[in-house]
Amino acid sequence: MAQKENRNESGKDDCSTEEGGREKKPELNTTFADHFEPSERESALYQLWEKSGAFSFDAPVSEESGSSTKDPFVICMPPPNANGELHLGHSYGYSIMDTLGRYHRAQARPVLLLPGKDHAGIQTQVVFENRLRATGRDLSTSTREQLYDECYAFCMDRAQYMRAQEKQLGLSADWEREFFTLDPRLSNVVFETFVRLWDDGLIYRGKRIVNWSVLSGTAISDVEVDRKEVEGTLTYIRYPFASPVTAPKFKEIDLPEGSQLLSAGGGLWVVVGRQEITAATVLRQGEGVDSSLICVEAAKLSKDSAVKKVLSELSVPDEALQVAQALSQCVAAGGGFIATLVAQFDPSEGLVTATTRPETMLGDTALAVHPKDPRYAHVVGAAVVVPLIEREVKVIADNRVEIAFGAGVVKVTPAHDFLDFDIGETHGLPVIQVIGTDGRMTEEAGAYKGLEARECRKRVVADLEAKGLVEKIEKIVHKVPIAERSKDIIEPLISEQWFVAVDDKKHSLKGRALELLQSGKIDIHPPHFRKEFEHWLKNLRDWNISRQLWWGHRLPVWYRDQAGEMETKVSIEVPSGDGWRQETDTFDTWFSSGQWAFTTLAACGELDMQTGKAAKGAFPSECMVMGRDILFFWACRMLLLTAYRMDEVPWKSIYFTGLIRDEHGQKMSKSKGNGIEPGEIIKKFGSDALRVGLLFGTTPGNDVNMGEGKISGYSKFINKLWNAAKLLQMRTLGDCQSACPPPAQIRSDAAVWIVAEVCRVRAHVRHLMDTYQLGQALSELYGFTWDTYCDWYLEVVKVLTKESASPDTAALAELRWAAQYSFGSLLEMLHPFLPFLTEEIYQQLPGLGTAPTLCQAAWRPDPKQVSFESASGQRSTDAMVRVIEVVKAIRSSKVSLGGLGSGIRVALNTDPLSEEGERLVQELGRVQLVKPAEISADRAVAQVFARGVILFDHPDRAGFATKLSKEATSLEENIERLEKRLASDFAARAKPEVVAVEREKLQVAKQTLSRLSEELKALAR
RNA sequence: GGGCGUAUAGCUCAGUUGGUAGAGCAUCAGCCUUACAAGCUGGGGGUCACAGGUUCGAGCCCUGUUGCGCCCACCA
């Protein structure tokens, strides 16, 4: 008893004892520091979590929320490349995943955030080789095995560093289940997949054109190719005909009346007039056009035909300005014109083709023109001679040739150009490889053999010039393919590679994947990415999975010479017998990471690959969080391979994040220097601030603009919450060592109100979190914490804990319970977003919950003891809302009345307030409440608000009248609008509840207006 | 050329079944108010890109136009 007394005393005495010395800073009953210092506390808090075992998938599930048979929440987190460090994009993804993980853990679900690192084939090999070279090491002296082992160690080292960064961010991953993509436990499953694909006939080996990086000596995938604009030259080379070709002759006639002849460049012309020019029509000489003229394509110019469209129909380049202008004029003149593309052609000297890579001509096996090109219609099928190498090849027609580019003739080099390779396949052309994998000219290049490609280019041009076969050389800016990692120019060439057939007739991998996707088994956030996903999947082409690298999984393929024959076996283990040697190619890194969704779970025993069963239900995992930029190469492939191996989707939902940009929406890059290092931000503002900065207001799929200003702004929130805790500790919770029991009956309107508010927000936040609307949830919590909780509830707490308050122990107990309940709930809800700060507060304020750490705490249920939803409870909540409205109205009025000071007298003409309510109105509104009659008529000023009228005891009535009449006008307008609406079809057609709402609004507005008018009348007297 | 997105306050962005537009920052006015001046109170500011359509009613749905952006392919 005495103890209890003491507690009550000290709770309020601390404030009152210092009453005398105002300038002296009072001794606060707090252990809280002035500010939360993230850098000092974060690592200790993380250790606390790790020690608690809460991050483990095996952690016991909190029993507070009922059944323990809840589905697990599993994310196999995308493994970052183990060759560097984390960037802001990683922080973003991790923030989302960790927030989801912590949220679901708090819903009493078993949670597995499975971490990992990717070996990242070519990227790592390039990074690692550069490092070795930087130390002066000669790589040729090392064996493949040596390099592999050293690189493995290097990756382990980087992985450790990155793991530390992940922990710094607060990532609540299950570190016991962390994997590296080259881990043998995973690799075996990867190899198995390959073997099965092979057995199913879905793997083939073939000579294909690939992107070849000479520097790294490997083929690289399309997605690892960047394009860079460089200045180059376009060389026009003449290929003489093998035997003379004659052009057809046409008779000459005049241009039709009113026609215009316009040059479109490249020997092409456009005639614009009222009638079409036909093939039989030939333009007269003297107009700059030679005699042999062929006409083709015509396009009508009507009112709604855009000039650009006509130009493209005619295959005229947009740059043909003169033509464009003329066409515009014709369109403006009302249309009805016809534009006809015509051409001149002089075939005697052979065909001219343009190229940026003259050296590849040595491998030409055809020339190609567009089948509709008027200039070359008659030469299709003719033979031309490839100069220098003196090879006779045919002219073919293919609609992939663009009429408008260069001379409209393409030299076809199937071995060294992707388009040419395709054209070659269509037309059955031979493939002649003149550039080797070492970047030097091959045997096929004849006299040029052994030259480097660049050198050969110069020699070829010089030799052609000597023969007079170079028409002209233009400078052009064009994009050349360069290797994303090694930065050298890609040389497309033919090489033997391993492929996965993705659309096999018997067993279509992409077909099955597409089925699963379209079955709706995967929730996609944002939803519109489904279309894009399908689009990519549909357009997937056979997948080259081999790389000529030493870093990665070596293909489980074995060779040996057997009596002069090459024997090939595909198996995980070395086949029995002697003389087997393993394929040297390694897998494309996406082949292994494409199986991440099940290899990881299999490796940690959560998935049985034989039966496909996951005992604890970890597969398929709940969610995948992925940057939208890798949808194509990762999401597609993961779905493809998981569908194949498991006949199941890899995840139940996929969340695509946008990209992180700088504050001006620019891409972050080292060269621009606008990048943000997550480590620096954490050092400066703390992990919580970074997380909030990244998550606030984000929506799936949309890019996030990030600047330091945004983070420093949100770091204010951390201070705010810290101070809220400090206040509660000082005012009411400082003496609570454990949770206060809920009172049997709650008398305080404020207590019911805040608890009800918290429950309402919790329901809403749950909904938002369950539907992956993290940004919305955070924003909701932020607003609630700041506006409702701090600016109203804590102010209320201050009033109710003032020393002048009656020492009512029951009331105090009630207050403490409400404070603990509401603040504990708030911390629980904020914890997924701000884990460190909330945990620190939780640790410092005992009694906020029963779990040893907030990270393990399940969200508390709505209090059963308090039936705030009952009729009486609802009234109580209403009562507090009324108090708030009154105070707001008073404050607002005071400002508009010219800043009435504090302590003025105010009377309320509304429903009576409770004792507590009156006290709150007086304290928070800084007024003295009196009865209406006590305010003398000549000093009364009335302010109408939604619930009634406030009478102010104030002499200045004149200025106020203007304001009142303004309000009246706006009310009248509002009423008019509402009445008009209710008189319209609206009343009959809209939903009844909507109509009712509008009626209610009208009634309130009318009542308010009538009160307002009365007050105005009174003022006028 | 193919696919997709986006346009809302001065800036950065929310706005999920269609019901009279929101936040943060910035700005203006007023506050030392014993948790926080990294704070508090109040205010101003928007024909929701443009043009049509569906609907009683459109920021939201449909069509078209324009600007910006992303991804893929491509410039021989």
| Nucleotide of closest approach to A995 (CA, C1') | B19
Q: From CA A1011, how far away is CA A910, in angstroms rounded? A: 12
Q: How many CB atoms lie within 10 A of CB A807?
A: 11
What are the tens digits of pLDDT across the range A10-51? Answer: 333 333 333 333 333 334 445 778 888 888 889 999 999 999
Q: Which residue has the higher pLDDT, A788 or A1013?
A: A788
Q: How many Å from the CA of A918 to C1' of B44? A: 32
| Rounded mean pLDDT, A631-641 | 86
Nearest nucleotide (C1') to the CA of residue A790? B35
Pairing of strands A651-657, A523-525: parallel
Residues 6+ apart with CB under 8 A from A922: A928, A929
Tell me, in Å, how far CA of A252 is from C1' of B60? 63
pLDDT at A164 over 90: yes
Tokens at A235, concatenated: 């060389």
The average pLDDT across A767-786 equals 88
Which phi-psi region, left, alpha or beta, contains residue A258 (left: φ > 0; alpha: ψ -120 to 50)? left
| Distance between the alpha carbon (CA) of A704 and the C1' atom of B45, Å | 26
Q: Distance between CA atoms of A942 and A952, rounded to whole angstroms?
A: 6
Residue of A256, A434, A276 lying closest to A362 (CA atoms) = A434
**Which residue is nearest nucleotide B13, judged by alpha carbon to C1' distance?**
A697
Look up the protein residue whose alpha carbon has the minimum distance to the C1' of B40: A791
**Nearest protein residue to the C1' atom of B5, measured from CA:** A702
Of A756, A828, A831, A766, nearest to A793 by C-alpha is A756
Minimum CA–C1' distance nucleotide for A896: B42
Of A136-140, A249-253, A391-395, give the lowest mean pLDDT range: A249-253
Smallest CA–C1' separation from A361: which nucleotide? B76
SS3 readout for A7-76:
HHHHHHHHHHHCCCCCCCCCCCCCCCCCCCCHHHHHHHHHHHHHHHCCCCCCCCCCCCCCCCCCCCEEEE
* A532 CA, B64 C1': Å apart: 24
pLDDT attached to residue A599: 95
Distance A453 CA to B76 C1' (A): 17
Residues 6 or more apart whose CB falls under 8 angstroms from that of A795 comprise: A924
Q: Which residue type does A179 have?
A: F
> In Å, what is the separation between the CA of A375 and the C1' of B9?
59
User: CA A402, C1' B73: Å apart?
Assistant: 14
Q: Which residue has the tokens 């995973």?
A: A186
- Which nucleotide lies at the shortest CA–C1' distance from A685? B38
Q: How many Å does it take to go from CA A831 to C1' B11? A: 30
Q: Which nucleotide is nearest to A771 if distance is taken from CA to C1'?
A: B16
Interatomic CA distance for residues A430 and A424, integer angstroms = 7
Give the tokens for residue A775: 């940004």
pLDDT at A317: 59
Q: What order do you get walking across the sheet with A565-570 strand by strand?
A: A565-570, A557-562, A581-582
In this prediction, residue A62 has a pLDDT band, given cuts at 50, 70 and 90, of low
Top-confidence range, A186-200, A559-573, A754-768: A186-200
Alpha-carbon torsion A570, A576, A577, A580, what sign? positive
CA A520 to chain centre: 21
Paired strand residues for A270:
A262, A341
**Which token pair is A375?**
């200039």
Q: Which of A993, A946, A949 is nearest to A974 (CA)?
A: A946
Mean pLDDT of A768-786: 88
Shortest CA to C1' contact from A987: nucleotide:
B56
Length of chain A: 1021
Identify each DSSP E strand in A866-911 by its residue range: 904-908
Q: How far is the CA of A123 from the C1' of B13 (A)?
A: 35
Among candidates A55, A90, A74, which has minimal Cα distance to A623? Answer: A74
Give the whole-angstrom CA distance, residue A230 versus residue A976.
67
A766-CA/B34-C1' distance, Å = 37
Q: Which residue is closest, via its CA, to the C1' of B68?
A: A665
Contact indicator for A259, A272 with CB cutoff of 8 Å: yes
Q: Which nucleotides of B are covered by protein (CB under 7 A)?
A: 1, 3-6, 12-16, 19-20, 23-25, 29-30, 34-36, 38-43, 55-57, 66, 70-76
Q: Exposed, middle or buried: residue A975 (CB in 10 Å: 0-12, 13-18, 19+)?
A: middle
Phi, psi of A870 (to 5 degrees): -70, 170
Q: How far is the CA of A626 from the C1' of B67 (A)?
A: 30
Q: Which residue lies nearest B14, CA-to-C1' measured?
A: A697
Distance (Å) from CA A303 to C1' B52?
18
Query: Which nucleotide's C1' atom has the smallest distance to the CA of A312?
Result: B1
Name the nt closest to A35 by C-alpha to C1'. B36
User: Structure tokens of A577?
Assistant: 């017998």
The per-residue pLDDT for A240 is 86
Please name the nucleotide lying closest to A311, CA to C1'.
B1
- What's chain A's Rg over C-alpha atoms? 39
DSSP strand E in A376-469: where?
383-386, 391-397, 409-412
SS3 A293: strand
Give me the pLDDT at residue A426, please. 80
A215/A220 Cα distance (integer angstroms): 12
Residue A940 has phi, psi (to 5 degrees) of -80, 135
Summarize pLDDT for A213-234 with one digit per residue, the tens: 888 788 777 767 777 777 788 8
Burial class of residue A75 in the structure, from the number of CB atoms within 10 Å of its CB (0-12 exposed, 13-18 middle, 19+ buried)? buried
Q: Which nucleotide's C1' sits nearest to the alpha carbon of A729? A: B35
Cβ–Cβ under 8 Å, residues A95 and A135: no
Strand-pair partners of A229: A479
Q: How far is A718 from A159, CA to CA, in rounded Å? A: 31
pTM, 2 dp: 0.82
Question: What does DSSP assign to residue A633?
Answer: I
Q: How many angstroms is C1' of B9 away from CA of A272?
A: 50
Q: A59-73, A310-324, A468-482, A504-518 — which is least confidently predicted? A: A310-324
Q: What is the mean pLDDT of residues A843-868?
A: 83
Residues A386-414: pLDDT tens digits? 888 888 898 888 877 877 676 778 899 98
Please name which of A970, A851, A856 lies closest in space to residue A59, comparing C-alpha atoms: A856
- A339 CA, B36 C1': Å apart: 74
Residue nearest B74, CA–C1′ metric: A419
Contact between A272 and A262 (Cβ < 8 Å) = yes
Checking each nucleotide's C1' against the CA of A730, the nearest proves to be B35
Residue whose CA lies closest to nucleotide B39 C1': A720
State, as a whole number of angstroms, the distance between the CA of A525 and the C1' of B54: 29
CA–CA distance, A295 with A278 (Å, rounded to integer):
6
